Amino acid sequence: MTEILPNETVVSLTTLNQGAAIDLFDVELRKVLADIADPNASARTKREITLKVVFAPDEDRGMAMVGIDCKSKIAGRRGSATRIFFGVMDGQPVAVEAIPNQGRLFDKQPGKLKTVPMRTKESGNVD
Protein backbone atom coordinates (compact mmCIF):
# COMPACT_ATOMS: atom_id res chain seq x y z
CA MET A 1 0.00 0.00 0.00
CA THR A 2 1.66 3.19 -1.18
CA GLU A 3 0.60 6.51 0.33
CA ILE A 4 0.94 9.54 -1.95
CA LEU A 5 -0.15 12.16 0.56
CA PRO A 6 -1.59 11.68 4.03
CA ASN A 7 -4.94 9.85 3.73
CA GLU A 8 -4.38 9.12 -0.01
CA THR A 9 -3.51 5.62 -1.20
CA VAL A 10 -2.67 4.26 -4.63
CA VAL A 11 -5.59 2.14 -5.82
CA SER A 12 -5.23 -1.64 -5.84
CA LEU A 13 -7.71 -4.47 -5.62
CA THR A 14 -7.39 -4.51 -1.84
CA THR A 15 -7.92 -0.74 -1.46
CA LEU A 16 -10.55 -0.14 -4.16
CA ASN A 17 -13.61 1.35 -2.41
CA GLN A 18 -12.13 0.34 0.94
CA GLY A 19 -11.93 -3.34 0.02
CA ALA A 20 -15.42 -3.65 -1.47
CA ALA A 21 -14.21 -5.86 -4.34
CA ILE A 22 -12.75 -8.37 -1.90
CA ASP A 23 -15.88 -8.29 0.26
CA LEU A 24 -18.07 -8.93 -2.78
CA PHE A 25 -15.82 -11.79 -3.88
CA ASP A 26 -15.94 -13.35 -0.40
CA VAL A 27 -19.77 -13.32 -0.44
CA GLU A 28 -19.85 -15.14 -3.79
CA LEU A 29 -17.13 -17.55 -2.67
CA ARG A 30 -19.30 -18.58 0.31
CA LYS A 31 -22.20 -19.24 -2.10
CA VAL A 32 -19.99 -21.40 -4.33
CA LEU A 33 -18.58 -23.38 -1.41
CA ALA A 34 -22.08 -23.98 -0.01
CA ASP A 35 -23.28 -25.16 -3.42
CA ILE A 36 -20.34 -27.57 -3.75
CA ALA A 37 -21.10 -29.00 -0.29
CA ASP A 38 -24.83 -29.36 -1.05
CA PRO A 39 -25.65 -33.04 -1.77
CA ASN A 40 -28.65 -31.86 -3.83
CA ALA A 41 -26.38 -30.04 -6.31
CA SER A 42 -24.44 -31.69 -9.10
CA ALA A 43 -20.92 -32.59 -7.98
CA ARG A 44 -19.42 -32.36 -11.46
CA THR A 45 -20.81 -28.98 -12.53
CA LYS A 46 -18.14 -26.31 -12.65
CA ARG A 47 -18.75 -23.24 -10.51
CA GLU A 48 -17.58 -19.78 -11.52
CA ILE A 49 -16.97 -16.41 -9.87
CA THR A 50 -16.66 -13.30 -12.03
CA LEU A 51 -15.31 -10.06 -10.59
CA LYS A 52 -16.01 -7.14 -12.92
CA VAL A 53 -14.49 -3.68 -12.51
CA VAL A 54 -15.73 -1.02 -14.96
CA PHE A 55 -14.00 2.36 -15.35
CA ALA A 56 -15.96 5.32 -16.79
CA PRO A 57 -13.49 8.20 -17.18
CA ASP A 58 -14.66 11.77 -17.52
CA GLU A 59 -13.94 13.79 -20.66
CA ASP A 60 -10.62 15.27 -19.50
CA ARG A 61 -9.52 11.87 -18.11
CA GLY A 62 -8.75 13.39 -14.75
CA MET A 63 -11.05 11.03 -12.85
CA ALA A 64 -13.38 8.11 -13.39
CA MET A 65 -16.41 6.48 -11.81
CA VAL A 66 -15.65 2.87 -11.02
CA GLY A 67 -18.28 0.16 -10.78
CA ILE A 68 -17.52 -3.09 -9.00
CA ASP A 69 -19.66 -6.19 -9.48
CA CYS A 70 -19.16 -9.80 -8.52
CA LYS A 71 -21.37 -12.72 -9.53
CA SER A 72 -21.23 -16.46 -9.13
CA LYS A 73 -22.57 -19.24 -11.28
CA ILE A 74 -23.46 -22.29 -9.22
CA ALA A 75 -24.83 -25.70 -10.10
CA GLY A 76 -28.14 -25.25 -8.34
CA ARG A 77 -30.51 -28.03 -7.34
CA ARG A 78 -30.65 -31.25 -9.26
CA GLY A 79 -33.85 -33.17 -9.81
CA SER A 80 -34.79 -36.45 -8.25
CA ALA A 81 -36.06 -39.70 -9.74
CA THR A 82 -37.20 -43.05 -8.43
CA ARG A 83 -38.64 -46.28 -9.79
CA ILE A 84 -42.04 -47.60 -8.78
CA PHE A 85 -43.73 -50.91 -9.38
CA PHE A 86 -47.43 -51.37 -9.97
CA GLY A 87 -49.40 -54.24 -8.54
CA VAL A 88 -52.59 -55.28 -6.80
CA MET A 89 -53.04 -55.57 -3.04
CA ASP A 90 -56.33 -56.80 -1.60
CA GLY A 91 -57.82 -56.41 -5.06
CA GLN A 92 -56.87 -52.71 -5.31
CA PRO A 93 -54.24 -51.20 -7.62
CA VAL A 94 -51.19 -49.92 -5.73
CA ALA A 95 -47.73 -48.60 -6.47
CA VAL A 96 -44.63 -49.12 -4.34
CA GLU A 97 -41.18 -47.64 -4.60
CA ALA A 98 -38.33 -49.88 -5.75
CA ILE A 99 -36.99 -50.73 -2.32
CA PRO A 100 -35.63 -54.26 -1.81
CA ASN A 101 -37.98 -56.84 -0.26
CA GLN A 102 -41.22 -54.99 -1.08
CA GLY A 103 -42.29 -57.55 -3.69
CA ARG A 104 -44.18 -59.50 -1.02
CA LEU A 105 -46.68 -56.62 -0.71
CA PHE A 106 -48.56 -57.67 -3.84
CA ASP A 107 -51.17 -60.39 -4.06
CA LYS A 108 -49.65 -63.62 -5.40
CA GLN A 109 -52.43 -63.98 -7.97
CA PRO A 110 -53.49 -60.42 -8.90
CA GLY A 111 -56.67 -61.51 -10.68
CA LYS A 112 -59.37 -58.98 -11.35
CA LEU A 113 -59.41 -55.50 -9.79
CA LYS A 114 -62.29 -54.70 -7.45
CA THR A 115 -64.75 -52.05 -8.52
CA VAL A 116 -65.07 -49.13 -6.13
CA PRO A 117 -68.57 -47.57 -6.15
CA MET A 118 -68.77 -43.86 -7.06
CA ARG A 119 -69.88 -41.59 -4.25
CA THR A 120 -72.58 -39.19 -5.31
CA LYS A 121 -75.14 -37.00 -3.56
CA GLU A 122 -77.96 -39.00 -5.18
CA SER A 123 -76.73 -42.33 -3.76
CA GLY A 124 -76.28 -40.81 -0.32
CA ASN A 125 -72.69 -42.04 -0.19
CA VAL A 126 -71.15 -38.59 0.30
CA ASP A 127 -69.70 -37.46 3.63
pLDDT at 1 over 80: no
Residues 68 and 23 in one domain: yes
What is residue 106's predicted lDDT score, i.e. its pLDDT?
Answer: 53
What confidence tens digit (pLDDT) does each residue in 30-72 have? 999 999 999 999 999 999 999 999 999 999 999 999 999 999 9
Residues 27 and 69 in one domain: yes
Closest C-alpha to 77, from 33, 32, 50, 39: 39
What is residue 29's predicted lDDT score, i.e. its pLDDT?
Answer: 97
Q: By residue range, what is the domain housing residue 93?
A: 81-115
Q: What is the pTM of this model?
A: 0.60
What is residue 20's predicted lDDT score, i.e. its pLDDT?
Answer: 96
- For the chain, the average pLDDT equals 82
Residue 55 located in a structural domain = yes
Q: Are 11 and 3 in contact (CB under 8 A)?
A: no
- Over range 5-9, report the average pLDDT: 77
What is residue 56's predicted lDDT score, i.e. its pLDDT?
Answer: 97
Closest C-alpha to 87, from 108, 106, 71: 106
Residue 37 located in a structural domain = yes
* Residue predicted with more confidence, 26 or 108: 26
Residues 22 and 67 in one domain: yes
Residue 57 located in a structural domain = yes
Residue 10 located in a structural domain = no
For residue 77, what are the contacts with CB-CB under 8 A and spacing of at least 6?
A: 38, 40, 41
Residues 41 and 23 in one domain: yes
Number of H helices, E strands in the chain: 1, 4
Residue 126 located in a structural domain = no
Residue 24 binned pLDDT confidence (cut-offs 50, 70, 90): very high
Residue 86 located in a structural domain = yes
